[in-house]
Structures are given as C-alpha cells and as structure tokens.
A and B are shown apart, each in its own frame.
Chain A
Amino acid sequence: MAEGAIKRKRRRHAAAGTRIAVAGAGTGAMLGMVAALGLSDRAAARSAQAAASAGSAPATAPAAKAKSTARRAADKATAAAKAEPVPKRTGQAPTARSGSPAEVATKRFDAAGGGPLTVIVRVHRVERSPRAPASGTTPVRPPVTAWTPRTTAPRTAPTRRAIPAPPPRPSDPPPAPVTRTRGSR
C-alpha cells in the first residue's frame, strides 16, 4: 500500500473516528507511517524507522491516539535496540540454542578409529559483543529484506530430497566449501 493511499485512508477513518489497521508484511513500517502522520516529516520518518525496526507496534491504533502511540513505539524500539547489540549479518556463526557461545570444531580421523588423529582445528569461536553502542548513537539494524536466515534447521530431513540453502543475496561473498565429496577411496 502506497504511503499516499495510507494517508488518504487514515484521513477518512480519522474523520469518522474509527480504528485503522494495516495487515501483512511490513506492518510495523506501515503503522509507523500511519501513526506518524501529523508530525513533521523528520519525526515521521524517525518514528517509522523505529517502528519498523522494533516490529512490535500494535496491529491497530485509535486514530485519535496515533501521535502518542508513535512516540511510545519509537521509545520502545530505541530502548530495545540499545539493550541488545546487533550481531553482524554475515560471517557470523550461530549462537547455541542454550544461549551460550557456540564454536565450530573440525576433526579428521581414520574411520577405524585407530589411525592417526591428524587435525583438530578451532575454526572460530563466537560470542556476543559486550560492547554497548556509543552514547547518542543509534545501533544500525540490518536492512529489512525478503530473505531471512533460518536459525534452526529441521531435525528430520526427508529421505528423498535434500533441502537447498536459500539463494544467496547479490552482496554475499562466494561461499567457501566446508568439505568436499568424491568417489570413495
């Protein structure tokens, strides 16, 4: 829904004193725009961005309370963003399910177990950065895109088909192989 259409819809509903709702993808951003109407352009943009980042704005809002709702959403988004440093989007190993840091271990060994255990390599260790954002700055959130990385894989793979990884984004670097397949030797 275009911003102009949202404005027109909002004006109609505000005149009638009814509630409005915008559903579907990008709800937070839409509500941010809707709720910020009547503020200055700069304040509206800031509010929209905050609501979009938080993704937690209410699904409906009384038109008469739009301005205060927008401010509360913006405050909530800012507080949440400050409290939780944002991990890098790429090149970042996952955090373990338990919330403790994850690590990746690689090992090569002989299938019989008695051969030389040749390599143990710690590839990397991942911890959340303890550093808080500098005062007065707004943490940078990753851009909202249609592609969202999954955080947990399905445990039961179908017998027949492998599950392909999501297609890479244009900005992604070429993936480095984790391992290689070949005829058994």
Chain B
Amino acid sequence: MGSDVELVVVAPRPTTERLVARAVARVAQLEQRWSRFIPDSDICRLGHAAGRPVAVSDDTLLAVRRVLQAHAETGGRFDPTVAAVMDRLGYDRTFAAVVERPAARQPRTADVAGWDAGTPVVPGCAGITVDDAARTVTLPAVVRLDLGAVGKGLAADIVAEELLDAGADGVCLNIGGDLRVAGTPPGGREWTVSVECPFEPADEVARVALWSGGVATSSPRAKRWRHDGDLVSHIVDPTTGRPLRAAAASVTVLAGEAWWAEVVATACIVAGPAAALATAEALGADAIVVRRRGVVASTPGAGDFLRPHRAADGSGLETG
C-alpha cells in the first residue's frame, strides 16, 4: 500500500497493546497479499497465471468481489485493470522507487503499445471469475489487477471490524489518507477528521465529524512523476487509458465503509470536476470537492458532517 498507517484504538486497558499489535500484523498481511510489487502476492500470482484459476486467500476473494461490484456500479469509472497502463507509465515499482528513477530510464509514451493504435489498454473486468467453493480467482490472460484504488480502504474496513470483534470499543484506522472509523470514539462524542488541502498540506479545507463510516480522498496531485517529459498522475481514465488531465484537485467522499468511499472518490475524480458531486450522490455517498482554483463544493448531505475548521491563514475557525 506504500503508505503510512495511523491507528487509534479505544479499548479496555489490558487489551490495548494486543489489539494494536494485531492491527499492525494484519495490515502487513494484507499488504503481502495485495501488493503488485511483491512477486508472491495473490495479486501478482493472479497476473502471471495466464488465464488459469489461482487459489487465493479469503481476503483476496473478498477484494476481487468488491472490485467487480465497484466496476459494475460505477459504470467502469473505477477499473482495477489499469495495472498494465501503470506499468507502461513507469509506475511498475514502489512509488518511492518511481520518483527516484533517473529520467533517462523512464519509459516513453511511444513505448506504450496500443495508445495510438486504438487497442484498448484497459481491458476491463469482463471474464474475471470468482469461484467461492474452490476459493479461486481466474483472470483473462491479458488482465492484471491493481487494487490501488480500493485496497487501502478495504484493508481499513477489514482490520477495524476485526478489532471491534476482538474487544475494542472504538477504532480509527487510516491507511494513507483513506480511513474507517467504527465504535466508540475517544471522548464518546464523534470521530473528527480533517480534510487536507490538496494545494498546501499544512492547511485543511474542511473538517468532518462521523459516528461511523469511511472517509477517502482521491487527488491526482498526490502521486505525480515525470513520464516522457510530462508530469503524470497515478489516476488513469479507464476510457482512454491515459492519466487524468482535467480533474478536480481532490475529492473527499464519506460513505458507510472505507472501500466504498475510496471507490466513489476515484469515480468522482474520473468523472471530472463538473460531474463529481452528481456522481457521488448517484452512488449513494457524500462528497467534498476541491476544484483546481481552490473552490470547495459539497453535496447537500455532506453538511451533516461538517464542523468548523481552521482557516487557511490560521486565523481562526471557519464553518462549512
């Protein structure tokens, strides 16, 4: 997942350390199963199976079911089969390694087969099958999965719910900015989450308070690197197979679960700034959009979550 993780656990005193240790181990296990940069991960083994069924963990079965659902419900705006495009753009290793690679060794647009020949470079989810009885997944030979737009949220959901079942009273698990809150918050009142400004990370554009749910933010400004002279982002438009260009600066989505918030945030970014809010509402979630000139807009339902936040100049608290 290539991210820092922040965990807050509210629990009876003797169990807290055990719960924290369990969460650390479980996140690492999910990383091991879902990373496309770990050769023996479930995701890598699926990609190299050349169309044969592959036995995978229950976590991966769940993840594949979720991405199929997300792809269908977003009309393809969320597409987990962008892995090949990511590789061709140079995002074929951890992001830290991508940005450190010398410019001379970066792939060039001309090397990306299919872009100019009209070949679909994002194959889509048709042909992906999950066999629950056999606990296997089968991908068509040309398809590889990238859980980059769902894995962090889904991991947060899985681990948070497991901690509650193991005795925690409340959990907030934030993986790289995509988070799940559940159970009793510290202080017993609310889980308050700051929404970071996409232009200036030290600032916040909003502050939201939840009792339970997921919050995820998608921003093409978050991961950018040089590719063939252009600054490209990690978010690909599945309809073109190219990195997004005219996109909102960021979309923050509030939903019942973190995986769905992350999926909707990606779908909103791909839909474009003008359609982002309508897309969120159509998918049953609330959203806060920061447009490229810094204008902030939100769905009507997001108003239930907003709290006063620190003004950009640090002078005080703004409402809404």
A159–B260 alpha-carbon span in the complex (Å): 7
Q: State how many angstroms separate the Cβ of B157 from the closest Cβ of chain A.
A: 9
B255's contact among A101, A108, A162, A172, by CB below 8 Å, is which? A162
Q: Indicate if the CB atoms of A178 and B185 lie closer than 8 Å.
A: yes
Q: Indicate if the CB atoms of A181 and B187 lie closer than 8 Å.
A: no
Q: Indicate if the CB atoms of B184 and A165 lie closer than 8 Å.
A: no
Which chain A residues border B301 with CB–CB below 8 Å? 161
Name which of A158, A164, A184 has the most chain B CB atoms within 10 A of its CB.
A184
Q: B177: CB under 8 A from chain A? A: yes
Q: Indicate if the CB atoms of A178 and B5 lie closer than 8 Å.
A: no
- Main secondary structure on chain A at its contact with chain B? loop
Which chain A residues border B186 with CB–CB below 8 Å? 93, 104, 123-124, 178
* Chain A-chain B contacts (Cβ-Cβ < 8 Å), number: 258
Known: A157-B182, A159-B255, A175-B189. 12 other contacts (CB 8 A): A93-B187, A100-B14, A105-B17, A113-B24, A157-B257, A159-B260, A160-B284, A177-B193, A181-B174, A181-B196, A182-B195, A182-B198
Chain B residues proximal to chain A, CB less than 8 Å: 1-14, 16-17, 19-20, 23-25, 27-29, 31, 95, 148, 152, 161, 164, 169-170, 172, 174-179, 181-196, 198, 201, 204, 207, 209-223, 250, 252, 254-257, 260-261, 283-286, 301, 304-305, 307-308, 317
Chain A residues proximal to chain B, CB less than 8 Å: 90-94, 96-98, 100-114, 117, 120, 123-125, 149-155, 157-166, 168, 172, 174-185
- What are 26 pairs between A and B in contact, CB < 8 Å? A94-B187, A101-B12, A102-B12, A102-B13, A107-B20, A108-B6, A108-B7, A109-B4, A109-B24, A111-B27, A112-B28, A113-B29, A153-B183, A157-B257, A160-B260, A162-B256, A162-B305, A163-B256, A165-B211, A174-B317, A175-B307, A177-B194, A178-B192, A182-B195, A182-B222, A185-B176
